[in-house]
Structure 1
Amino acid sequence: MDWYETVFELIDMRSFSNLWFWIALAAVWSTASHYVIGVPFDMVPRAAKHGGQSERDLETLVQIRVNRLLFIAKVSGLWLVALTTAVLSTLLVLGFWYGIEFAQAVALIAVPMTLVGLLSLSTARLIHMADLHGEALRKRLIRHRHATQVIGMISIFVTAMWGMYQNMNVGPLGG
């Protein structure tokens, strides 16, 4: 047995039968749901409940994140679109045309997370253009979080269905 076989025996490249893939999927969506445009969501209800300094902290952090997202989109948006499109296209072709399960697994995480990234950019633009503060800002962040959670639920459902199909189709011994 050479080192290549040893490595791939230790790191199961059949993602949908690997517990670590499902743990990573849960961690990705948990993190995406908790950080709304990069701001910890627990700050939103705290600002609504306590006001004052909590509200100012939320608004300051949101302003920092909004400015950063818009700056990145302005400076390197075209390159990011090109790179993201190339990577996602490669994953989708490798995964679903050539049947590479690892690429399928990564694509089933990356494609919906790209949607969340676009949603974050859209939310940042809305906050910036409307100059949202206070209650209106909190409502926008809550709306963004709910949309992220819906995308996450659909993504997890589709991934679970595809994973079960793959596991039943391939079987436990890989053939």
Structure 2
Amino acid sequence: MDWYRIVFETIDMRSFSNLWFWIALAVLWSTTSHWVLGVPFDMVARARRGGGQAAQDLEDMTRICVNRLLFITEEAGLWITGLGAAMLTVLAVLGFVYDMEFAQALFLLALPMSGVGVLSIATAARIRRDGLSGPQLWRRLTLHRFFTQLIGMMSIFVTALWGMFQNMSAGVLG
């Protein structure tokens, strides 16, 4: 009995027709839009509603996350950028030149997340540079979340279009 054949016939291993890929995509963007610079967004809503200790907790948490993100950027930013660019290039070449669907799927997850990473670094630097607190901080975090969600919506749309194209092509060619 050929176990590999049975497994591959039972479970579709192509990324864009696999339910787990779409669940992972939804969880990725849901989590990314909830954690703004490492701060859960419900803390912003609580600070906006109640002020007081909730606002102080938000400022402390934001300060810690901003300092951590900028420390990592200052210490290893060039290495992370270089390795990230190399990884994206490998995925793009494997996916779109050599037509590996799994690499295409990973590329369509990783490319927009790298954009969110750049946005996060810019937002963190602005928060530190301007010394934002109170309503100004809440607005900056809300704006960051908005742009993260915008990137996510565009990413999901492009991924869905590409996935439908791949599934239709596989149906015609396969």
User: Shorter-chain TM-score category?
Assistant: over 0.9
Q: RMSD of the TM alignment (CA)?
A: 1.5
Which runs of 5 or more residues in structure 2 are unaligned?
none
CA distance in 2, matches of 1:48, 1:123: 19
* Residues 90-120 of structure 1, C-alpha deviations (whole Å, 9 max, x = no match): 1111111111001111111110011001111
Aligned twin of 1:41 = 41
Instruction: Specify whether residues 121 and 6 from structure 1 end up closer, same or farther in structure 2 by C-alpha distance, changes over 3 A only.
Output: farther
Structure 1: runs of 5 or more not aligned: none
The DSSP-based 3-state class of the residue aligned with 1:12 is coil
Shift, 1:12, TM fit: 3.0
Structure 1 partner of 2:106: 106
The residue number in structure 2 matching 1:26 is: 26
Matched, 1:163 2:129: no
Q: Distance in 1 between matches of 2:77 and 2:11?
A: 35
Q: For residues 35-81 of structure 1, give each alpha carbon's deviation from its aligned partner in whole angstroms, at most 9, with x where no partner exists.
A: 00110000101101100100000000000000000000011111101
The 2-side partners of 1:10 and 1:60 are apart by 50
Query: After the TM superposition, which parts of structure 1 deviate over 6 Å for at least 4 consecutive aligned residues?
Result: none
**Corresponding residue for 1:141?**
141
Aligned to 2:75: 75
Partner of residue 151, structure 1? 151
**What percentage of residue pairs aligned between the two structures are identical?**
61
Q: Which moved more, 1:92-101 or 1:2-11?
A: 2-11
For 1:83 and 1:126, the matched residues in 2 are separated by: 25
**Cα separation, partners in 2 of 1:160 and 1:72, compared to 1, 3 Å:** same
Aligned length: 174
Q: 2-side partners of 1:11 and 1:131: how far apart?
A: 52
Separation of aligned partners in 2, 1:85 and 1:5: 36
TM-score (norm 1): 0.94
- The one-letter amino acid of 1:114's match is S
